[in-house]
Amino acid sequence: MRIAIVGSGYVGLVTGVCLADLGHEVVLVDNDAEKLAALQRGEVPIHEKFLPELLVRHRGGRLRFSGDLATSARDCQAVFIAVGTPPTEQGEADLSYVESVAREVSGSISGYKLVVEKSTVPVYTSAWIRKIMLRNGTRADSFDVASNPEFLREGTAVTDFLYPDRIVAGSDTERSSEVLRQIYEPLTSGRYYAEAHAVPRPEGAPTQLPQLMLTSANSAELIKHASNAFLAMKISFANAVAAVCESVGADAKQVCQGIGMDARIGTRFLNPGIGYGGSCFPKDLLAFRSVARECGFDFRLLDEVIRINEEQRQRFLRKVRSALWTLRGKRLAVLGLAFKGGTDDIRESPAILLVQSLIQEGSQVIAHDPAAMARAKEALPATVEYAATPYDAARGADALLILTEWEEYAQLDLPRLARELKYPIVVDGRNLYEGSAMTQHGFTYYSVGRPTAVPEEPAASVPSRDDAVRIEGERSA
C-alpha cells in the first residue's frame, strides 16, 4: 500500500521505517528541509535501537522523503498525521498543526483516502479533522478519518511497533476498517515474522500474534490518553508507597514486588524513583485532565498523580541534603540526564530538573550520560561539566547521584568507583543496587523507599594479655 506519513518526528519516523519494513511504499513528509536532507543522507536524529539499520535498509527504496504534502497525499491511499501536539499554557493539546495538515490534505483528494491520526490527541479530534476537510470542499464520500494511537516507548519504539501488545484502530466505517486491516496484515497474520529480514523479537515481547482491536474513533482516542494516565498513576503510586516505606523502615522494592506479583496488578511501572518525565506522560496527563474538565468531570486523581510526581523530585533533593548537609560548594557526580535509559530524550527529564535545582543551590555538577549529553548542553547552564565515563565524573566528587536507569550504570566497577570518589557516598534515584552490596565496598548508600545502608565501623581492637602488661608497665614508669 502507498502511505504518506506527515511529520518526521519521533512517532512519524518510527512509524515510517516500520511500515516500510512491513512492505508498504512510504513517503515521509515534513516542512523542515534541513531535517529531510539529513534523513536522505541516512542521518538519524534520535537515539533509537534498530532505527539506523531500518533507515539504511529502506532509504531510497520503500522509504522516500518529501516536502510536498499535496503531491504526496494525492499519490497515497492512506495519510497518517504524526505532527506535534504540544501543550498550551492551559495544559490543553495544541492541535493547530493537525488542523493545518487536514486543510492541506483536503485539497489533495483524488479517489478514496483514509486519513489516520497517529499523534496523541484528545477525544473528538477525528471528528474535527473530518469537519475541517468538509469545510474545505472535500466530498463526504471520498475519505474517512480513523484514529490509530501509538504505544511506543522511547528506547524500544521499533520493537514496540513490530511486536505490539495490541494495535488499536478507531474507525467508524467498514471501508476504513478494511484499509487498516490491510496495513497491519503483515503483523496480524504473522507473515512479517517469517521474513529473513524481520527485526528480532525482543526478550519479553508477546509470543502470540498481535490483535487488531477495532473500536470507534472516540474510544481509540480515549484509550491512548487513559493508558498513559494509568501508567503515570502506577509510577506515582509506587513513589507514594516508597515515602511510607521510608517512614516505617520497610523496603519499597520488596513491597512493590509483592504488590506486583498479584496478576491483577503486575510489576511493570511499579518502580520507585525520581518520577516520570519524557514527551508523553506529563503532556498527556494535562491534556486528559483538560478533556475531563471540558466534559464536566473533575478528575482530581490526575491532580494527585501530578502532585506526587513533582514532590518526588523534592524528596530526592532532601535526600541529597541529608547525605551532604549543605549543597553549596559541593562537587556532585551525576549519572544520567535522559528521562529514561535507552534514549537521548531530555524533555521533561527529572534528571535535568534536578541538575538545575542542584546548580541553583550552589553545587558544582559533572555529568555523564551515554546518549543525552549533546542535548543536555542545550538545556543546562554552561557551568555544568561533562565526563567521558562514569568514573571520570566520579573523580574527586563529594557524592555520586544516579538519575537515569541506564543498564551500564547497574554494572559499575564498585571498587574503582570508591577509589575515584572523594567520599564513598552514592544517592541512587533508580534503586539500581542493593544496600548490602554497596556497604561491602565501603559506600554509604541512599536509595528510594529503602533504609540508608551504612558500612559497619571497624570494631575497636582488643589488646592482648602481653600488650596489657606492656601498657601497664609504661604507665608505672
What's 295's domain CATH number?
3.40.50.720
In this prediction, residue 415 has a pLDDT band, given cuts at 50, 70 and 90, of very high
Tell me, yes or no, whether 300 lies in a domain. Answer: yes
What does the alpha-carbon distance between residue 242 and residue 95 come to, in Å, rounded to a whole number?
A: 37
| 300's grid cell | 482530581
What does the alpha-carbon distance between residue 429 and residue 351 come to, in Å, rounded to a whole number?
A: 9
Are 307 and 322 contained in the same domain? no
Residue 477's DSSP bridge partners are: none
pLDDT tens digits, one per residue of 146-200? 999 999 999 899 999 999 999 999 999 999 999 999 999 999 999 999 999 999 9
Tell me, yes or no, whether 456 lies in a domain. Answer: no
At residue 282's C-alpha, the angle toward residues 403 and 229, to 5°, is 110
Are 52 and 23 contained in the same domain? yes
Are 147 and 209 contained in the same domain? yes
What does the alpha-carbon distance between residue 55 and residue 60 come to, in Å, rounded to a whole number?
A: 9
Q: In this model, does residue 387 exceed pLDDT 90?
A: yes
Question: What b/e string do you get for 174-205 counting C-beta neighbours within 10 Å, with b at 16 or more?
Answer: eebbebbbebbbbbeeeebeeeeeebeeeeee
Are 124 and 168 contained in the same domain? yes
Are 239 and 323 contained in the same domain? no
Cβ proximity of 457 and 451 under 8 Å: no
Are 326 and 243 contained in the same domain? no
**Number of continuous H segments (helices) and E segments (strands) in the chain:** 18, 14
- CA distances 173 to 74, 106, 143, 308, Å, are 21, 19, 10, 42
- CA distances 301 to 220, 232, 319, Å, are 22, 11, 27
Q: Which residues does 173 contact at the CB level (< 8 Å), separation at least 6?
A: 144
Q: What share of the chain is helix, strand, coil (3-state, %, to 5)?
A: 45, 15, 40
Are 211 and 240 contained in the same domain? no
pLDDT at 462: 42
Are 93 and 195 contained in the same domain? yes
pLDDT at 120: 83
- CA distances 286 to 10, 234, 277, 302, Å, are 20, 16, 13, 8
Are 234 and 134 contained in the same domain? no
Cβ proximity of 55 and 35 under 8 Å: no
Query: 367 by DSSP, 3-state: which?
Result: strand
The full DSSP string for 197-215 is TPPPPPTT---SPPPEEEE
Are 305 and 316 contained in the same domain? no
Cβ proximity of 349 and 334 under 8 Å: no
pLDDT at 471: 46
Share of the chain above pLDDT 70, in %: 96
Query: 391 is in which domain, residue-wise?
Result: 312-446
Are 195 and 254 contained in the same domain? no
Cell 518526521 belongs to which residue? 8
State the chain's mean pLDDT as an integer. Answer: 92
Tell me, yes or no, whether 473 lies in a domain. Answer: no
What does the alpha-carbon distance between residue 101 and residue 85 come to, in Å, rounded to a whole number?
A: 12
Tell me, yes or no, whether 261 lies in a domain. Answer: yes
- The count of domains in the chain is 3
pLDDT at 464: 46
Helix orientation angle between 217-248 and 125-135, rounded to the nearest 10 degrees? 150
Tell me, yes or no, whether 469 lies in a domain. Answer: no
Q: In this model, does residue 468 exceed pLDDT 60?
A: no
pLDDT at 458: 56
In this prediction, residue 465 has a pLDDT band, given cuts at 50, 70 and 90, of very low
What does the alpha-carbon distance between residue 242 and residue 53 come to, in Å, rounded to a whole number?
A: 40
What does the alpha-carbon distance between residue 359 and residue 372 come to, in Å, rounded to a whole number?
A: 19
Q: In this model, does residue 78 exceed pLDDT 80?
A: yes
- Phi and psi angles of residue 230, each rounded to the nearest 5 degrees, phi first: -70, -40
- Phi and psi angles of residue 196, each rounded to the nearest 5 degrees, phi first: -65, -30
What does the alpha-carbon distance between residue 10 and residue 416 come to, in Å, rounded to a whole number?
A: 38
Q: How confident is the model over 343-350, as a mean pLDDT?
A: 94
Cβ proximity of 253 and 431 under 8 Å: yes
Which sequence positions are flagged as catalytic? 280
Are 306 and 319 contained in the same domain? no
Residue closest to 399 by CA, chosen among 416, 420, 381, 380: 420
| 54's grid cell | 531500518
| 19's grid cell | 511500515
Query: 288 by DSSP, 3-state: which?
Result: helix
pLDDT tens digits, one per residue of 290-306? 889 988 999 999 999 99
Tell me, yes or no, whether 408 lies in a domain. Answer: yes
Residue 445's DSSP bridge partners are: 426, 453
Domain endpoint, select from 311, 342, 375? 311
Q: Report, in angstroms and rounded to the nearest whole number, the Rg of the chain calculated over CA atoms.
A: 27
Tell me, yes or no, whether 457 lies in a domain. Answer: no
Tell me, yes or no, whether 454 lies in a domain. Answer: no
Q: How confident is the model over 262-276, as a mean pLDDT?
A: 94
What does the alpha-carbon distance between residue 281 and residue 411 come to, in Å, rounded to a whole number?
A: 28
Note the residue count of the chain. Answer: 477
pLDDT tens digits, one per residue of 35-64? 999 999 989 989 999 999 999 999 999 999
Domain endpoint, select from 194, 215, 236? 215
| 333's grid cell | 557526580
What does the alpha-carbon distance between residue 447 and residue 464 come to, in Å, rounded to a whole number?
A: 41
Query: 427 by DSSP, 3-state: which?
Result: strand
Which of 85-99, 218-232, 235-249, 356-370 comes out lowest in average pLDDT?
85-99
Residue 143's DSSP bridge partners are: 113
Cβ proximity of 4 and 72 under 8 Å: yes
DSSP label of 408:
G
